[in-house]
Amino acid sequence: MFAFIKFIHSLSKICGIISTILIGSAVLVTTQMVVVRYFFKMNTVWQTEYVIFSLAAATFIGAPYVLLKKGHVNVDLIPYYLSEKGKNILAVIAAILSLIFLVFLFYSSLQLFSHSWAKNIKTPTIWALPMWKVYIFLPLGMGILILQYLADIFSVIYKFETQEKK
């Protein structure tokens, strides 16, 4: 079980790196777009779509890393008054409720991806980017996020501590 938890934590860290690269590339492309439009008075073709899609992908792919680092916003009012056992029970319940939502989201995003793949749907622009290349990041991110929630649940149940949490 500990090998599974460590593997998922490593996978979530890789997701964080990929998300960072996507955000960095969006910043570079935005800068390039401004330079091309302002200084050279040229039109841009693919840059706006790339920035939008890369930031969306960074959000979905980065979600497991945010969960790993506990970087999401939460309210600790109830856990503050609970014992360690109560905190653990509350954490497992919250993770299970999140998992239920994520399973539905994962399934729906897989349908969206497969529909765009089968119908070869493209963006209605000159770039004509196949939408499956955009939609693939939602089931990937949600699938890894599901695994990260499972690793969190197992960490609570088996009392597995990582260096990040110490």
- pLDDT digits 0-9 by tens, 114-166: 999 999 999 999 999 999 999 999 999 999 999 999 999 999 999 887 655 44
1: which DSSP letter? -
Dist. CA 152–CA 107, nearest whole Å: 21
Task: Check whether 21 has a pLDDT greater than 90.
Answer: yes
Query: What pLDDT, on a 0 to 100 scale, did the predictor assign at position 166?
Result: 42
**133 to each of 53, 90, 129, how far by Cα in Å?**
9, 38, 8
Strand partners, 122: 130
Using alpha carbons only, give the angle 161, 87, 3 rounded to the nearest 5 degrees: 25
pTM attached to this predicted model: 0.89
Sequence-separated (6 or more) residues with CB below 8 Å from residue 11: 64, 144, 147, 148
Residue 88's SS3 state is: helix
User: Which has more confidence, 78 or 148?
Assistant: 148
Measured in residues, the chain has a length of: 166
Distance between first and last Cα of the chain: 20
> Would you state the pLDDT for residue 162?
60
The residues pairing with 130 across neighbouring beta strands, listed in sequence order, are 122
Residue 72 DSSP label: S
Q: What distance lies between CA 22 and its chain's CA centroid?
A: 12
